């Protein structure tokens, strides 16, 4: 019978932009128990930065609120939920389009959801106007033997 590894972490902080780095590092530290590669860890940190920044800039705008992060590990899958109780997203499909931004006056590229989607294996966005938004992201961290096999295959392809 296969054993299941499980762990969970919850974090809450004020929607201040200087807390974005704290959130990114905290999630990376939690994910490190899966022994991710430097690249996998960088992917996770980038996605967390985008999700937290969205909550701060778009969810709460000029107001202060609470950003919540819930991380869960089951076997080698990291699930991260980033949520706010802010204004919500009117049109999720439109907001997920590359280069879309609800704040064209800011120097932002409108690539937040696109970046999250490209760095994580799954992305789900739920939002209710006036109640807030929850972004759920999943990333499978390859086991050591899978990493070795992948490296070996890449090496073999280079030498063929």
Tokens 């890449």 map to which residue?
154
Length, in residues, of the chain: 160
Which residue in 12, 108, 122, 157 is the catalytic one? 108
Which residue in 24, 40, 54, 117 is the catalytic one? 54
Which residue in 20, 40, 50, 117 is the catalytic one? 50
* Euclidean distance between CA atoms 89 and 103, whole angstroms: 13
Nearest alpha carbon to residue 132 among 97, 72, 82:
82
Neighbouring C-beta atoms of residue 33, cutoff 10 Å: 12
108 carries an active-site annotation: yes
* Euclidean distance between CA atoms 82 and 48, whole angstroms: 8
Residues identified as active-site: 50, 54, 108
């Amino acid at each position: 019978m296969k054993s299941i590894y499980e762990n969970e972490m919850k974090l809450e902080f004020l929607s201040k932009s200087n807390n974005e780095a704290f959130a990114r590092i905290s999630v990376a530290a939690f994910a490190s128990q899966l022994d991710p590669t430097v690249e996998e860890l960088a992917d996770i940190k980038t996605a967390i930065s985008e999700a937290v920044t969205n909550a701060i800039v778009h969810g709460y705008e000029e107001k202060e609120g609470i950003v919540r992060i819930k991380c869960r590990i089951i076997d080698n899958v990291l699930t991260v939920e980033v949520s706010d109780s802010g204004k919500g997203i009117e049109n999720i499909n439109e907001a997920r389009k590359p280069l879309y931004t609800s704040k064209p006056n800011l120097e932002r590229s409108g690539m937040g959801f696109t970046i999250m989607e490209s760095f994580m294996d799954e992305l789900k966005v739920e939002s209710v106007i006036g109640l807030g938004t929850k972004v759920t992201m999943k990333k499978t961290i390859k086991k050591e033997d899978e990493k070795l096999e992948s490296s070996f295959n890449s090496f073999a392809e280079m030498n063929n």
